[in-house]
Structure 1
Amino acid sequence: MDQPATAAPAAAPFAATTPAGVSMPLGMFVYTLLYGGMTVLAGVLAYKQVQLPPTSLAVESGIFPFLLLVVISSTLSQLYGRDAAKRIVWWGFFPLGLSALLMQLVLALPASSEMIAFRPDDLAAFERVHASTWRVWMAGPASYITSLLLNIWIFDRLRGSGDGESTIGLMIRGAVASALSQAVDSVIFITLAFYGEFDITDLMIGQVLAKVFLSLVMVPFLITFGVRAARWLDAKKTS
């Protein structure tokens, strides 16, 4: 995978190498693995809505892994360039789609006689939850691709003509890009996943407020940590 000159330190970093001989910085390799896992987890956790006391507002639990997707995509854009980050976002469809297909296969396969006889409640709960998430699985990719590509675009545009290396500048760019992209994500996802199932007003308001708040308070620090962690990984030498 091509990368800008600033992606690797002067000394040869530890890199993951494919059979074709194409190397990938260790930081990008690790974050790509985490990215694929978070895309799957976000779809599964989204089924549960979490209350935001002391209000009546709520958020869907997929918000937590999804914010990590924002952090990872911004980190990749900062270190390896916008094009590299966009490729990771598009490839994120693969684990998401494969997980959805495997879920449908598992639901279609007959349960064991032991589970039917002795654990029918567990079977019913499993089927109820996962069979009911098809709208979540469909809404996820639509909001996912829109918001994450928007996040990368805003994050990169705010970089301007400078190198964007200052910590304060990095944190501000991360906060603004995340807040705007996550507000868009919330509107798309909540509408497609839950409209018509129940009154989505409180969930929509809670989701937008929570994502914007977390984007301003937590995401800047997580991106700063993510960039430093990736650089540390890239600087590791082979033993």
Structure 2
Amino acid sequence: MNDAPAQPAAAFPIARSLFVFALVYGGMTVLAGFLAVKQVMLGPTGLGVEAGIFAFLVLVVLSSATAQLHGASTANRLVVWGFLPLAMSIVLILLVLRLPADPEMWPQGLEAFQLIHATTPRIMAAGPVAYLVSLLLNVWIFSKLRGSGEGSGSVGLMIRGAIASALSQAIDSVIFITLAFGGEREIGTLIAGQALAKIVLSFVLVPFLIALVVRFARWLDRRPIR
């Protein structure tokens, strides 16, 4: 029997920044659905938007930063595998909703839980479809705008991030609202309002966040392994 100690594995078989991105990304896919329950107003603009957009914009930032640092194919894999925690959360929510509640549970809390999480099947199906299409589109546009050059300058990076985010978020609004509410209510004004709010956020927040995250990731990857 060989009692020789096992050789330690490499401390970071993937880039440290990609490891951190994946952790945060998985959490944001789940959190976006919970935050979407609340509708918020965007300050003086008077635009209303579901609060899940803030977590979704983090997904846009992370997928764009991944494409910038690790390539479009890696960013696409991040988006596709990021669907896994989202799908698992939906399955677990459906399971918990069908399990009998503890009779000693606070009645108002149970009612609120059921009300918030018992969304219709159409809405549950619309979210993942819009997620996959819009985020894969974001990576594709972001990478195409980069062209064959390095394209790592801060200004170019921010411009590409804003354009890719704005276009993909507009498509996200069209897909999600059409699948979730089409035929049940008038969706034209709802799509327009949601898309406009997301485009505004894409130009105001996303460019700076992408530049910041890319700078942080490069610093993280330069740190010595301990």
Question: Which range is displaced more, 47-56 or 84-93?
Answer: 47-56
The residue type equivalent to 1:111 in the other structure is A
The residue type equivalent to 1:73 in the other structure is S
Q: Determine helix, strand or coil for the equivalent of 1:32.
A: helix
For residues 9 and 97 of structure 2, the distance between their equivalents in structure 1, rounded to whole angstroms, comes to: 36
Unaligned runs of 5+ in 2: 1-7
Inter-CA distance 125–195: structure 2 relative to 1 (3 Å threshold): farther
1:213 aligns with 2:200: yes
For residues 42 and 120 of structure 2, the distance between their equivalents in structure 1, rounded to whole angstroms, comes to: 22
Q: Determine helix, strand or coil for the equivalent of 1:114.
A: coil
- Backbone CA RMSD of aligned residues: 2.1
Q: Determine helix, strand or coil for the equivalent of 1:24.
A: coil
1:75 aligns with 2:65: yes
For residues 109 and 174 of structure 1, the distance between their equivalents in structure 2, rounded to whole angstroms, comes to: 43
For residues 147 and 159 of structure 2, the distance between their equivalents in structure 1, rounded to whole angstroms, comes to: 13
For residues 192 and 103 of structure 2, the distance between their equivalents in structure 1, rounded to whole angstroms, comes to: 45
Trace 1:80-119 onto structure 2 (pairs within 5 A): 80-115=70-105, 119=106
Q: Determine helix, strand or coil for the equivalent of 1:23.
A: coil
The residue type equivalent to 1:86 in the other structure is N
The residue type equivalent to 1:156 in the other structure is S
In the other structure, the counterpart of 1:127 is 114
Inter-CA distance 48–190: structure 2 relative to 1 (3 Å threshold): farther
The residue type equivalent to 2:107 in the other structure is P
Question: Which range is displaced more, 125-134 or 95-104?
Answer: 125-134
Instruction: Compute the displacement of 1:142 (Å).
Output: 0.8
Trace 1:1-239 onto structure 2 (pairs within 5 A): 23-52=13-42, 57-115=47-105, 119-196=106-183, 198-239=185-226
For residues 126 and 120 of structure 1, the distance between their equivalents in structure 2, rounded to whole angstroms, comes to: 10
Instruction: Give the TM-score normalised by structure 2.
Output: 0.89
Instruction: Compute the displacement of 1:197 (Å).
Output: 5.0
The residue type equivalent to 2:64 in the other structure is S
Among the aligned pairs, what percent are the same residue?
59
Matched pairs, number:
219
For residues 63 and 110 of structure 1, the distance between their equivalents in structure 2, rounded to whole angstroms, comes to: 32
Instruction: Compute the displacement of 1:122 (Å).
Output: 1.4
Inter-CA distance 54–166: structure 2 relative to 1 (3 Å threshold): closer
Give yes or no for contact 2:173–2:195 (8 Å, CA) kept in 1: yes
Instruction: Compute the displacement of 1:199 (Å).
Output: 4.1
Which of structures 1 and 2 has the larger relative contact order (alpha carbons within 8 angstroms, sep 6+)? 1
Give yes or no for contact 1:171–1:220 (8 Å, CA) kept in 2: yes
